[in-house]
Structure 1
C-alpha cells in the first residue's frame, strides 16, 4: 500500500493515499472565530467550504512551520465514500511516499485516548513511522463545529477567493 509520508517535528507519520484527495500548497484561509487553536480556518474548494486543521498544532500545540514543504492535504472525512466530507489537514515536510504492507504496522503499546487518530507504527530503516487514522481526527463536537462553522463563515465572506483545485488560488 502507498502512503503519503510527512513529519511533525522530528517524528514521521503516514496517511494512506486512498485517504488523500489532493495535496495542495498553502492557500489563504478564512479564520474561524472561537474555534480551537488547532483549527487553521476554512477555504472554498470547487465551491464547497472546507474546514482545515493544523495537525502539528493538534499534536504538539505548536503550529506547522511555513516551509516550502508544508502542504494542505485534502482528505475525505471520515473515510472515502458517498457520505464523505472534505477536510483539509496541514502537514509539514509532505514530500515523500512510503510503500508498506498494512499488516507490517504494529500497535505501539501506548493507549492515547485523547489522540485516537494516532494509529500503529511501522519500523523502516530510518525509524518508526506512525499511521494517521483520518476517521479519528475529529470528535463529534469538533466535527459539528468545524463543518457548520466553515459553511457559515465562507457564506458570510464573499470576498474570499475560491480555490479551483489546480494547485493555486485564482
Structure 2
C-alpha cells in the first residue's frame, strides 16, 4: 500500500535530520527514510509526483554525503516524462546521486538528444546545464551536433 508523499514530507524529513542529536541518530533517520523510498519505488502504481518527491529526498541524502545505490531507473523515468517539473527533478537527482557511477551517463544519451530538440527553452537549458556538469565524452560525441545547431 502506497502512502501519498508530499513536499511537507521533505520538510519533515529535513527537520528530523536537523534535530538529530548525534550522527548515529541521523544515520538511523536516513536509513529509515531510504527504506521508505525503496518501498515506494517498488510500488508498480507509483505516480510521477511520488517518484519526484522520493528523488528529491535521495538528492538530499546524497548531498549529506551518504551513498545512494538505488533509484536510478526511477530517475531515468522522471527524465522521460514530458512535464518540466519532473524532468528537472530527474536531472537534479541524477547529478546529485549518479553522475559518478560508471556507465550511468550513457543511460542519458537518448533522453538528452530528445530534450535538446524540445520546443521549450527551459527543457533545453536544463539539458545543456546537465551536459555541462557531466562533461562526458561519449554524450558529447552523440549530442555535439545538436548543441552546435543550438549555438549557431
The alignment's TM-score, normalised by the length of structure 2, stands at 0.24
Name the structure with the higher helix share: 2
Radius of gyration: which is bigger?
Answer: 2
The alignment's TM-score, normalised by the length of structure 1, stands at 0.22
Higher RCO, 1 vs 2 (CA within 8 Å, ≥6 residues apart): 1
